[in-house]
Amino acid sequence: MAEAVAVGADRESLGGRLRDIGFWADWAAVIGLVALVIVFGLASPSFLTLGNIQAMLVSAAILIVLAVGQTFVIATSGIDLSIASIMTFGAVVLGLLYAAGWPILLACLVGVVAAGLAGVINGTLVAKGRIPDFVVTLGMFSAASGAALILSDGKPTQVVDGFLLALASGSVGPFGYFIVVAAVVVVVAHVALFHTRFGVHVLATGGNAEGARAMGIRTGRVRLAVYLISGVLAGVGAILLVSRVGAAEPAINTTYLLNAIAAVVLGGVSLQGGRGNILGPVVGALLLTALTNGLTLLGISQYYQPLAVGVVVVMAALLMRYQR
C-alpha cells in the first residue's frame, strides 16, 4: 500500500513535486549549489569564468577526498573526528621521508600507509574495543596531531619537488590533476558502495548493526574497513595538501574536519548511518567551496564566512528531516 502511494507521488506533475518538501530535501545540496551559482554568478562577473571554476575545483579536491572517506564512516553510523589530523600526520611522514632523501613516490606511498595505519587503530578500537566512535576518533584527533608535532619537532618541512609541483599545477585538458585525482576517488568509492558486497554490508552495518550481525555480516570487520578507508583517503588528501602548500606542516587545519562532516551532511547522508551516497557529499563539498570562493570574490569579510557555512549546514540539516 505504502509503495503504491509512493509510486503515485513519483508520477506527480512538476508543480506537485515542487510543492512537496521531500523533493527539496532529497535535492538539498544540488539546489543549494545551483542557487549559489546563480547568486554569485549574477553578483560577481568573475565567478563563472573558466579560471575561477578551475580554481574552485582544485580547491575543492582535498575536501572531496576527505568527505568521501568520512561518508564511509558515517554510513556505518560512526564519525571520524580525526580525519584532518590524520591527514596532517600523513603529510608530516611524507615530508620527513622526502627530506631524508627518499624518492618522492615512495615517500607519498609511506605517507598514505601511515595514515591508513592510524585509521586501522581507530577501527580496531571501535570494533574490538567497543569504544564509541566519537571517543576513539576524538582521541586520535589529538594523538595524530601530537605525533605529527613530535615527528616534525613542530617545524614545517619544505617539500619543493617537481612531481608534486606538477601535480598541483598541471592539468589534463581543462582539468587539473587534483580534479582528476578527486574524480577517480569518487568513482571508485561510488562503485565500492553501490556495486560490491562490501558496500551493501557497510550500509547494513549502519542501518541495523544487530540485524546485519544476525545475517552473518561481520560488522566489526566492516567498521575496521571503513576507518581504514577513511585513513587511506586522509593519506591521499595529505599528498594533495603537501603538493598544494609546498610543505608538510604539523599545524592541523580544523576547517577541513568541520567542512568534511558538513559536506557529508549537506549531501544527505544521515549521521544515524545506513544511508550512504557519494555524489551528495561531493556536491556538498563543491557547495562549501563555492560559498567561500563567492564571498571572497565579492570582497565580503572572512568574518562572515564561517557564519555563512554554519547557516547553510543547519538549514540543510533542517530540510533533511523531510527526506523521503
CB of residue 232 to another protein, shortest distance in Å: 15
| Residue 150: partners with Cβ closer than 8 Å, 6 or more residues away | none
- Measuring CA to CA, which residue among 113, 7, 71, 319 is closest to residue 199? 71
CB of residue 30 to another protein, shortest distance in Å: 7
Going from the C-alpha of 37 to that of each of 49, 60, 187, 268, 323, the distances in angstroms are 12, 15, 24, 20, 24
**Residue placing its CB nearer to another protein in the complex, 121 or 181:** 181
d(CA 303, CA 307): 7
Q: Which stretch binds another protein (CB under 8 A): 10-18, 108-116, 134-142, 180-188?
A: 10-18
The answer to the question of residue 307 lying near another protein (CB under 8 A) is: no
Residues in 255-284 at the binding interface with another protein, rule: CB under 8 A: 255, 274-275
**Residue placing its CB nearer to another protein in the complex, 132 or 296:** 296
| Residue 125: partners with Cβ closer than 8 Å, 6 or more residues away | 131, 136
Among 105, 210, 307, 321, binds another protein (CB under 8 A): 210
Pattern 50-89, another protein, x by CB under 8 A: -xx--x--xx--x---------------------------
The answer to the question of residue 303 lying near another protein (CB under 8 A) is: yes
Residue type, 110: V
Contacts 24+ apart (CB under 8 A), 202-205: 202/72, 202/75, 202/76, 202/226, 202/276, 203/75, 203/274, 203/275, 203/276, 204/274, 205/76, 205/77, 205/273
Dig out the grid coordinates for 69 from the structure.
572517506
CB of residue 122 to another protein, shortest distance in Å: 23
d(CA 123, CA 117): 10
Per-position b or e across 289-312, b if 16+ CB within 10 A of its CB: bbbbbbbebeeeeeeebeebbeeb
**Residue placing its CB nearer to another protein in the complex, 121 or 148:** 148
The answer to the question of residue 15 lying near another protein (CB under 8 A) is: no
**Residue placing its CB nearer to another protein in the complex, 33 or 121:** 33
Pattern 129-168, another protein, x by CB under 8 A: --------------------x--x-xxx-xxx-x--x--x
CB of residue 141 to another protein, shortest distance in Å: 13
d(CA 24, CA 31): 8
For residue 106, give the DSSP letter.
H
Among 306, 310, 311, 314, binds another protein (CB under 8 A): 306
Among 21, 38, 184, 311, binds another protein (CB under 8 A): 38
Pattern 219-248, another protein, x by CB under 8 A: ----------------------x--xxxx-
Task: Please count the residues of this chain forming the interface with another protein, following the rule CB under 8 A.
Answer: 84
d(CA 74, CA 71): 5
CB of residue 7 to another protein, shortest distance in Å: 6
What DSSP letter does each residue of 46-62 carry, written as one string? TTTSHHHHHHHHHHHHH
The answer to the question of residue 173 lying near another protein (CB under 8 A) is: no
Q: Which stretch binds another protein (CB under 8 A): 33-41, 95-103, 109-117, 134-142?
A: 33-41
